Amino acid sequence: MRYAAITDRLKDLGGDKWAIHNAARARMAKGEEVIELTIGEPDITPDPALIEECVTALRSGRTRYSNGRGEAGLVDALVETYRPRMPDIGPENVLCFPGTQTALYAVFTALTSDGDGVLIGDPYYATYEGVVQASGAHVQPVPLHMEHDFELQPADLASAITPESRVLLLNTPHNPTGAVLTRDTLLALGELCIAHDLWIVCDEVYEALIFDGSFASPLEIEALRERTIVVSSISKSHAATGFRSGWAIGPAEFTRRLLPISETMLFGNQPFIADMTEAALRGNYPTAALLREALGRRAALVHGLVQQVPGLSSRLPAGGMFIMIDVSGTGLDGDAFATRLIEEHGVAVMPGSSFGNEGLNLVRVALTVPDADLREALSRMGTLSRSLLAGAA
C-alpha cells in the first residue's frame, strides 16, 4: 500500500531520540533500580481547587461541542492575560489548542510548506524537527554556545539566514538548555527578522519557570507584533500536562487563516477543560511558585556538584526544567556517556544528540526529581567520569 510522504518524513523523528529513556523504563519494569532523569514532567500535581473546577464543569454539563476558537470565557481570560504585552489584543488574536504541541503543529501548517526553512537554535526541543518537517519545511539550525549561556546570538542567526528562511522559532525559557532570552537580544533578533521578512514563533511554555532574570517576549515589542505568534499552555505553569490545554496568540489575519486548519483538525476543544484553564489563568494558584523554587534550587545543586567532578562542566540554567552537562572532558560524547551511565550506574539522562547536532558533547538532566536522587545521580556520574579519566591516564 502507498502512504503519504509525511509518514516517511517523520518516521525517524520519534522513538530513536528516546532510546535511553526506553531502556530505563525496560530496566525498571524488570525490577531494577534506575534514577530516571530523562523526561521533564512537573513532579507535583495540579492544585486540588483546579481539579475541582474541572469536575464541577463536567458535572454541570460542560461536555458538549465547543467552537473552533475556544470557549468565550477562556478566550477572554487569555485576552486579559496577554493585554499587558499586546495592548490592542482582542478575541480575534486568540486560538485555543489542546496544548502547545498541537498549537505548534497547526501554526507551522499555516506558515510553512515544501522547501521553506525554519531557523531554530540548536540544541532544540526534540519535537521541533517533526513539527517543521511535517509541513514539508526543513530546520535551519543556529548553533547555541555554552559560553553564551546558550542564548541565541544575533550574529549566529544572521549567518544562518538564507533566501529559503521563513520563520524563526524561539523558545524562552529554553528546553533543553534553560536559557532565557533578554529583551535586548529579542530586539536584535527581531531586527534581523524584519530585515528578512521572517515570522517569529515563540514557544513560551516555560514562562512561569524562570529562576534568574525576568521574562521577555517578542509580543511586547511593538515593531515585532505583526510577525509574532506566541504559543503556550498550562502544562508547566499549573503542572497540568495531561489536561492538554494551550493556545496561540497572533495577528488577526494569521488567526483568521489558522482557524479553518484548527477546525478541520480538532472541531473544537473541550468545554470542561476550557473552564478549568480559565480558572487557572484568572486564579492565583501556588503551583508555579512551588515548581520555580524547587527547580531553581535543584539547578543550583546540580550545577554546584558538576563543578566538583573532573571532566564535567555546566552552566547554571536561568529557567525551565533541565540542566545541560558537557561530558566531553571525560573523553566520551553525550551518547556514549549516557549509554555507559545507564548500563553501569543505573542513571538515565538524555544524550544531547536527541536535541540536534550542537549538543553531541552534552547530556540533559531533568530537574524534576527529588534533591536526594540528583545528589546520588551526580555521585554516580562522578564515579563514571573519574574511572574514564583514570583509564585514559
The phi and psi torsions of 357 (rounded to 5 degrees) equal: -95, -15
Cα–Cα nearest to 201, from 174, 219, 184: 219
Nearer to ligand PLP among residue 125 and residue 215 (C-beta): 125
Nearer to ligand PLP among residue 246 and residue 296 (C-beta): 246
Nearer to ligand PLP among residue 210 and residue 384 (C-beta): 210
Q: How far is the CB of 368 from ligand PLP (least distance, A)?
A: 11
The residue ranges that bind ligand PLP (CB under 6 A) are 40, 99-101, 125, 171, 175, 203, 205, 233, 235, 241, 246
Residues 289, 324 contacting (CB under 8 angstroms):
no
Nearer to ligand PLP among residue 40 and residue 311 (C-beta): 40
Cα–Cα nearest to 41, from 155, 209, 179, 192: 209
Pairwise CA distance, residues 218 & 225, whole Å: 7
* Spatial CB neighbours of 223, under 8 Å, sequence gap ≥ 6: 190, 194
Residues 352, 322 contacting (CB under 8 angstroms):
no
Question: In 10 A of CB 180, how many CB atoms?
Answer: 26
Pairwise CA distance, residues 40 & 323, whole Å: 11
Nearer to ligand PLP among residue 105 and residue 254 (C-beta): 105
Q: How far is the CB of 41 from ligand PLP (least distance, A)?
A: 8
Peptide bond into 176 cis (omega under 30): yes
Q: How far is the CB of 247 from ligand PLP (least distance, A)?
A: 9
Q: How far is the CB of 48 from ligand PLP (least distance, A)?
A: 21
DSSP letter for 16, please.
Answer: G
Pairwise CA distance, residues 30 & 350, whole Å: 21
Q: How far is the CB of 119 from ligand PLP (least distance, A)?
A: 16
Pairwise CA distance, residues 243 & 116, whole Å: 33
Cα–Cα nearest to 243, from 203, 281, 201: 281
Q: How far is the CB of 340 from ligand PLP (least distance, A)?
A: 26
Nearer to ligand PLP among residue 8 and residue 41 (C-beta): 41
Pairwise CA distance, residues 49 & 179, whole Å: 32
Nearer to ligand PLP among residue 165 and residue 171 (C-beta): 171
Q: How far is the CB of 101 from ligand PLP (least distance, A)?
A: 4
